[in-house]
Amino acid sequence: MAEKLEEYNNSNVSQLLFEKKRIETLINNMSDPVLGLDEDKKVIFINQEALKILNMNEGECINNFISNLSLKNDLFKLLADSIDIEETIIEPKKQPIKIFANNKESYFEKEVLHISILPTGEEETRIVGHVIILRNVTEYKEVDFAKTNFIATISHELKTPIASIKMSLQLLNNNRIGNLNEDQTQLLASIKDDANRLLKITGELLNITQIESGNIQLSIMPVDPDELINYAINAIKTQADNKEIRFEINRPEVISMIHADNEKTAWVITNLLSNAVRYSHENSVVYITLKEENEQVLISVRDSGMGIAPEYKDKIFNRYFRVPGTRKEGSGLGLSISKEFIEAQGGEISIESEIGNGSIFTVKLNVV
């Protein structure tokens, strides 16, 4: 009997050991770095890929608290910080982590799984450990980088010939070069429209490449909100005149200066006015309102155009998104660039709209 029990015991232990070995081999052969912690945040397993990028050996890590390891290794510190988020779900995706290992730069997307179980007889789940997986996204990042570079170069190269087309158009319009008949003048006007549209798109693409490469260069200084609005109205004047749209400004007697990047904020306000004009009916009014509230200046642009349905309100700030059925030409980039520019300055951009009743876009920026 004792002999049989011993045999049974041994077979169970050896089966468990075999299973353990199998899981260890599996984790070790994964091409992505993986490490596991127990409920006290002590390292219980770590694979070769993780050791490689951490530049440590297994003995130094196993059974050691992640808080201790963080003191000697910056990458461990970055991983430790992500576990402290008291969540039992997968952490939302963030910017990839850049790591310099094996003489090259690599990018990893971090995923933290908080493992919980429901112990037998109990009603509440309990966290029993955490698994950190670093997904190597270097290859995608490199392709993305090449694409961003390509777009930046092309849009930059296109700017010069488009500017020269615009200059030639101006010369052709000059009576000293010769008089044009009505048909020719109309043709010239439509070439001018197309050239302006091309210039707008190349400008937007250049902005987006700046954002994608994380290169938004801000030059923050005290800016007069009135000047921003005057600049934007001037830039859109011809477009508004063509549709017989006028601007009406409502402002308090005094308004504070704001902390902003002049050029980028002027770009945003111009883009909002341009949208208000493009998506409004002819012969209407676009209202621009300035307000000051809680140490912030609010600049609102209200049109009486077609409005935006509730299901699209969140999406219109996404890159390349255009409300289905939008007939006007456009790239779907203007609002996403505006959001990035305003948020980079610590501000906010929002929309209120009712279908058929126009839209109000509001930019909030901090006062000086």
Q: Does 345 participate in binding ligand ADP (rule CB under 6 A)? A: no
H or E segment and range at residue 113 = strand 104-117
User: Which of residues 232, 286, 298, 306 is near ligand ADP by CB under 6 A?
Assistant: 306
d(CA 134, CA 84): 17
Please state the separation of Cα 209 from the chain's center in Å: 12
User: Which of residues 148, 239, 289, 331 is near ligand ADP by CB under 6 A?
Assistant: 331
Residue 347's Cβ-count burial label (10 Å; 0-12, 13-18, 19+) is buried
Binding to ligand ADP (CB under 6 A): which residues in 64-123? Answer: none
Tally the residues of the chain.
368
User: Which of residues 199, 304, 322, 362 is near ligand ADP by CB under 6 A?
Assistant: 322
User: Which of residues 209, 225, 359, 365 is near ligand ADP by CB under 6 A?
Assistant: 359
Cβ at position 336, least distance to ligand ADP in Å: 6
Binding to ligand ADP (CB under 6 A): which residues in 246-305? Answer: 275-276, 279, 303, 305
Stretch that binds ligand ADP, among 46-54, 65-73, 155-163, 324-332 (CB under 6 A): 324-332
Residue nearer to ligand ADP on the CB measure, 45 or 279: 279
Residues forming beta bridges with residue 367, ordered by sequence position:
258
User: Which of residues 36, 334, 340, 363 is near ligand ADP by CB under 6 A?
Assistant: 334
Stretch that binds ligand ADP, among 16-24, 161-169, 239-247, 328-336 (CB under 6 A): 328-336
155 closest CA partner among 105, 211, 201, 190: 201
Tokens of 139: 């290859």
Cβ at position 273, least distance to ligand ADP in Å: 10
Cβ at position 305, least distance to ligand ADP in Å: 5
Stretch that binds ligand ADP, among 3-11, 225-233, 242-250, 332-340 (CB under 6 A): 332-340
Residue nearer to ligand ADP on the CB measure, 304 or 366: 304
Residues sharing a CB contact under 8 Å with residue 38, sequence separation 6 or more, in sequence order: 44, 128, 129
Cβ at position 283, least distance to ligand ADP in Å: 17
> 238 phi and psi, to 5 degrees?
-60, -45
Q: Does 335 participate in binding ligand ADP (rule CB under 6 A)? A: yes
272 closest CA partner among 368, 202, 358: 358
Q: Are 353 and 360 in contact (CB under 8 A)?
A: yes
Q: Does 232 participate in binding ligand ADP (rule CB under 6 A)? A: no
d(CA 15, CA 181): 94
Cβ at position 275, least distance to ligand ADP in Å: 4
User: Which of residues 36, 129, 203, 330 is near ligand ADP by CB under 6 A?
Assistant: 330
Q: Does 316 participate in binding ligand ADP (rule CB under 6 A)? A: yes
Residues sharing a CB contact under 8 Å with residue 296, sequence separation 6 or more, in sequence order: 347, 364, 365, 366, 367
Q: Does 239 participate in binding ligand ADP (rule CB under 6 A)? A: no
Residue nearer to ligand ADP on the CB measure, 225 or 330: 330
What are the distances in angstroms from CA 275 to CA 128, 304, 305, 326? 53, 12, 10, 12
129 closest CA partner among 75, 92, 83: 83
Residue nearer to ligand ADP on the CB measure, 65 or 321: 321
Count interface residues toward ligand ADP (CB under 6 A): 20
Helix (H, G, I), strand (E, B) or coil at 368: coil
Give the interface with ligand ADP as residue ranges (CB under 6 A): 275-276, 279, 303, 305-306, 308, 316, 321-323, 326, 330-336, 359
